[in-house]
Every structure is written in structure tokens, then in C-alpha cells.
């Protein structure tokens, strides 16, 4: 399982029309990500990191090229099929946790599993396992407002992997945290990747955290290049 190709981008192009001007964000971008691998995406603001993550995660369609998840070409699939693949195979973590405030930490992690069709008992068991793994098991019944920033983000990471996805895409997941908390959250996320064989692409401005990943890439003239 480890080392298998999880995500591949081949000649991906993404353009936006801004008035009379066309903005080229991705221009023939190529990229591969293996299971069990963590890759840091380091680039200036406005370079297209979010566009890359959204395209890789099937939230946006490329204007040209192909996105493959576990070898399956996804760019030309129907919206329903792309939604199913995204729900089952891709986990997203953002700078802001986006937890549902009216639900407990446990319930936030159970919800995506229930949507997928798991029974309540099985979803709760996995949610508790993930909370324990992220070292916040005792906070299971607390709502987001009762959790610290680092705890909220660990719940968000657990929610993102609740359905055992193939790929984890994270957009500045520690950007709102102080350095010590950021390091702790990253350690938990990295351990989860190593343990489960996830493939993780993590956009970050934190060069210390980026240096701890397997590889670092950046965006240059619409291409993804190794640093």
C-alpha cells in the first residue's frame, strides 16, 4: 500500500477570466503523490495554492489535462461521480476548522461517516478512536467553542480522515496557531499519515514545518516544481 501512486496531475491547466484579462494559474502542471508521503506546497500568496488543492481535490475541474486518484481519471466524470469520489477518497483541512458549532467534537467526526451510510455505532467507535489517536479523547463531548484552537484543528483533521480517504489536502492547517501548538498539531497529522498510509499535500507558509515533510514543491509560472 505504502508507495503506491495516490494522486497524479498530468498537464493540468486552470484559467480564470478577470474582465478582459485571462489569468493563467496552472499551466501544464504535473505532479505525483504517493501513499504514506507528505509533501509541502510552499508558494507566495496569490500563486495559486488554493486553486491547485481545489483542482486536485475535485472541487474544480481543470480547463485541460487530467487529475487521477488511485489511477482513475476524474476530470471528465459527471458531477455526481466526482462528488462520490471526493466524499470517499479526499479529506480537506483548512486554516479555519469549519466545525459545526452546535455539535460536539465526537458528533462532528461522526457526521461524514453517517452521510456515507455507516451505522451510528460504527461511526461513533471510529470517531472515538480518532479522537484518542489525536490525544483529545477526553474532549469528545465538548462543542467547538469549548475547545482550544489546537484542539479544534485536531478535531478538524480527525473529521477529514473519518471516511479513511486516499488523499489528505490541507490549506494552511496550522496558520492560525502559535508555533508550539502548530508543531503539536502537525506532529499529530504526520503520525496519522504515516500510520494510515494517507497521501498528504499540505500548503503552508511555515518553512520549519515544510522542512519536516518528505518533499517540498512550489508553483512557478503555472508549473509545480520541486524545491
28-40 tens-digit pLDDT = 999 999 999 999 9
Q: What percent of the chain has pLDDT over 70?
A: 99
Cα separation, 63 vs 79, in Å, equals 15
- What domains can you pick out in the chain, each with its CATH number? 5-103+149-226 (3.40.50.300)
List the 90-93 sheet strands across, edge first: 90-93, 167-171, 199-203, 38-41, 215-220, 223-226
Output the average pLDDT for the chain.
91
Q: How confident is the model at residue 3 (pLDDT cuts 50, 70, 90)?
A: low
Cα separation, 167 vs 91, in Å, equals 6
Task: Find the helix or strand (DSSP H, E) in which 64 lies.
Answer: strand 64-69
Look-up of cell digits 472541487: 59
Whole-model pTM over 0.85: yes
Look-up of cell digits 505532479: 31
Q: Is the pLDDT of residue 4 over 90?
A: no
Q: How confident is the model at residue 10 (pLDDT cuts 50, 70, 90)?
A: very high
Task: Find the helix or strand (DSSP H, E) in which 25 lies.
Answer: strand 21-34
Least confident of 66-70, 88-92, 95-99, 131-135: 95-99
Residue 171 CA neighbour count, 13 Å, CB half: 19
149-180 tens-digit pLDDT = 889 988 998 999 999 899 999 998 887 788 88
Check residue 135 and give left, alpha or beta (phi > 0: left; psi -120 to 50: alpha): left
Amino acid at each position: 500500500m505504502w508507495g503506491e501512486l495516490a494522486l497524479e496531475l498530468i498537464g493540468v491547466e486552470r484559467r480564470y477570466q478577470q474582465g478582459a484579462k485571462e489569468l493563467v494559474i496552472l499551466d501544464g502542471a504535473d505532479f505525483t503523490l504517493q501513499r504514506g508521503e507528505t509533501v509541502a506546497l510552499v508558494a507566495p500568496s496569490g500563486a495559486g495554492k488554493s486553486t491547485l488543492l481545489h483542482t486536485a481535490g475535485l472541487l474544480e475541474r481543470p480547463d485541460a489535462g487530467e487529475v487521477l486518484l488511485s489511477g482513475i481519471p476524474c476530470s471528465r466524470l459527471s458531477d455526481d461521480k466526482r462528488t462520490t469520489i471526493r466524499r470517499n477518497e479526499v479529506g480537506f483541512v483548512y486554516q479555519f476548522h469549519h466545525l459545526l458549532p452546535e455539535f460536539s467534537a465526537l458528533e462532528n467526526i461522526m457526521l461524514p461517516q453517517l452521510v456515507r451510510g455507516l451505522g451510528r455505532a460504527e461511526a461513533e467507535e471510529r470517531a472515538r478512536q480518532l479522537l484518542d489517536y489525536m490525544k483529545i479523547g477526553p474532549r469528545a463531548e465538548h462543542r467547538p467553542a469549548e475547545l482550544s484552537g489546537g484542539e479544534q484543528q485536531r478535531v478538524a483533521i480527525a473529521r477529514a480522515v473519518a471516511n479513511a480517504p486516499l488523499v489528505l489536502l490541507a490549506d494552511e492547517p496550522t496558520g492560525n496557531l502559535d508555533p508550539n501548538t502548530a508543531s503539536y498539531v502537525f506532529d499529530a497529522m504526520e503520525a496519522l499519515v504515516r500510520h494510515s498510509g494517507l497521501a498528504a499535500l499540505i500548503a503552508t507558509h511555515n518553512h520549519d514545518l515544510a522542512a519536516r515533510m518528505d518533499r517540498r514543491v512550489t508553483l512557478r509560472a503555472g508549473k509545480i516544481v520541486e524545491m
